[in-house]
Structure 1
């Protein structure tokens, strides 16, 4: 047998058991249980709903801007790679427009990288950003070396440019793409958390309602009073809190629209489409630098174009301006390949980087402008949805806490007179 309790504690336990069987003891138990549940439910509700609002703020101030910066970083790096290839293909001194595009791409990459660095809060993001920061100067150094050799007519310039492009495609762009994917995944996770029902809070509110119901039944059995206004008030406040939470969370989830047709999914899909377009453009220019068998380059180009077309059709439709620009660009690429395979390198080169409106460079620029505009519009819809979700949840923590505090007070006010009758 275990150690026995001291006599005073045994007497106290016996007294509590006896008192609990009396009517005032039962009323006191109802008061304590109901008040504790109301307070616990109120604090838990406020904490869960405040967490949703914190996630809403984090999406608008950090998670979504970082995802947008990540895709801008990829596009800027890819643009720099393509512009460097165009400059090399121009032969000798490149045109001011091509040089300006290359320098602007590097400036955009630096800006996006700085924004990503400022928003990096996890170790994975910091590591990716650090790798890109370390390798970008190496890329620009190789490009400048290739440019200097090309201006002097040295064939070794193409080797430096291929090395620069390999560094860009095998490391810089892969890291940027990984960063973009992880940041968009973070946006989706934050939105799911905002839209999710707070089941812990809902369960506690149901317990409060059950406690109010059980207390009313116990009082009816002990005092023959059918209704206690205090318990009715507590049940009403708890029920109102429950309805408010269900409606606010449902409205927030609807505003976010995290389904396949929602702004979040469309935003990510268009960002992927723009990345695929940049990858295809790089394939297009590298084919002419290699000046050999383009079968592998064509396979890569076709794969990127197929993925791009699928995403454009899914979000914008087959009759959209982006789809029209895409078709015009692929038609221009077909002409480039035909000229190349006919051993007409100058015609292929002119089609790829020529300044004319029918050249692939102009057609690709039209597509990229359209995708950028659509991406900006979809991003605005995404942020508006997150804003609306925040508005729906804005007053919920304070309101629910006040309702549950009111419910606890109602229990005390309603049952104290009944308890005084026996004291």
Structure 2
């Protein structure tokens, strides 16, 4: 048997039901429902639109810089591997500039690793960081062992360098590439959330408009008044807030240019192109280390350069400076292969790592500089779009909240005279 409510509570409930059936009770219900929906819609819209502004700030201050740092990590690690191979190929004591380039690449990698993982709290990122942090000292140790043996003319030096490069290619760079992929995915996800329509806000504002319409119909039936200024003002404010929220979000989404071939897509493609270039350059230098069959390394080089050419053609166009420098570099590589296959090893090494204007090393450096310039330009375009999206949303939270608070107040002010007629 259910416990009975106290008599006073039951009596109050009966009185409320009877009062709600009267005209003043109906007017009170309209005020309560419309006013509550207005306040709820106002705070919901302010919260959703403020969240988009916060995401815009997060992209500029954290997400995009971390993605850029992640691709820099990969490039720095790969550059260090290529520099280590160049130092080995030079024989004996390597040139000072090659040594400096290797050490600079390692320092850049350490800095990029710290920046790309700053504040990371997901398990996958922590695992990647732990692996890179543990394996990087092992890699440098193998390189130093190769360097020491090479200076003394011991053939075992090439085995150490091959082992070091295998560690770099099979683990360090794969982890760095995964980190880069995750960071760019985060950039795209954040942009998608900024440009997405605030459906909760839209739904509540539509409910306000429906409630205003239903309330006006009820008032017409009860009071024979065709129009209430307060309810009309509330509906107008809700309609203006709805238009503001939709237009501001749409403009923000269009500013982001996040679709196919948009700034974000080209930014990621150029970062991947730079990674492919570094992979091909490493294969180009490593194929001369063992002085054996270079078929496998040449296949790796061809695989990476083919993918690189496709990316450059799609992103920069068929007549871009980057593509022209790519073609110049691959032409230099063919000279290197021809010299190697003709048993002119010294000539092949000089073509691979020499400082002349026609060498593969110089031509690759020109290509990498072009890719870095293109990447910087697209990055600026991406950040400019995100900044413009923030501008489009800047006044939306406060404007929609004030409009809906005004709508709630207008409802109360407009219906209070009607309510007083019966009190």
Would you call these one fold, judging by a TM-score over 0.5?
yes
Work out whether 1:140 is the aligned partner of 2:140.
yes
* Contact 1:333–1:352 (8 Å) recurs in 2: yes
Distance in 1 separating the partners of 2:242 and 2:290: 67
Q: Deviation of residue 114 (structure 1)? A: 2.0
Pair 1:246-2:246 in alignment: yes
2:14 aligned partner = 14
2:312 corresponds in structure 1 to 312
Structure 1 residue 311 displacement after superposition:
0.8
Note if contact 1:43-1:401 (Cα within 8 Å) is conserved in structure 2. yes
**Residue of structure 1 equivalent to 2:258:** 258
Q: Give 1:188's aligned residue.
A: 188
Q: Distance in 2 between matches of 1:396 and 1:193?
A: 16
8 Å Cα contact 1:197/1:246 also seen in 2:
yes
Q: Distance in 2 between matches of 1:17 and 1:104?
A: 80
Q: Specify the alignment match of 1:323 in structure 2.
A: 323
Partner of 2:220: 220
Q: 2:24 matched to 1:48?
A: no
**Residue 206, structure 1, aligned to residue 206, structure 2:** yes
RMSD: 1.2
**Cα distance, 1:76 vs. partner?**
0.4
Runs of 5+ unmatched residues, structure 1 = none
After TM superposition, give the deviation of residue 27 of structure 1 in Å. 0.2
Cα distance in 2 between the residues matched to 1:155 and 1:180? 36
Is the counterpart of residue 392 in structure 1 residue 392 in structure 2? yes
Counting matched residue pairs gives 423
Tell me if structure 2 keeps the 8 A contact 1:75–1:275: yes
The TM-score with structure 2 as length reference comes to: 0.98
| Aligned counterparts of 1:318 and 1:57: Cα–Cα separation in 2 | 36
Instruction: Please say which of residues 9-18 and 155-164 is displaced more in the overlay.
Output: 9-18
Deviation at 1:84, TM superposition (A): 0.2
Q: After superposition, give the CA deviation of every residue in 1:235-289 in whole Å (9 maximum; x if it has no partner).
A: 1111110000011001100100110121100000000000000000001111101
Identify the residue that residue 98 of structure 1 maps to in structure 2.
98
Deviates more, 1:176-185 or 1:50-59: 50-59
How far off its partner does 1:61 sit?
0.9
Contact between 1:116 and 1:129, CA under 8 Å: does it hold in 2? no
Partner residue in 2 for 1:64: 64
Residue 5 of structure 1, CA deviation: 4.3
Match of 2:174 in 1: 174
Report what 1:110 is aligned to.
110
Q: After TM superposition, list the pairs within 5 Å mapping 1:398-413 onto structure 2.
A: 398-413=398-413
Residue 288 of structure 1 aligns to a residue whose secondary structure is coil
Structure 2 residue runs without a partner (length 5+): none
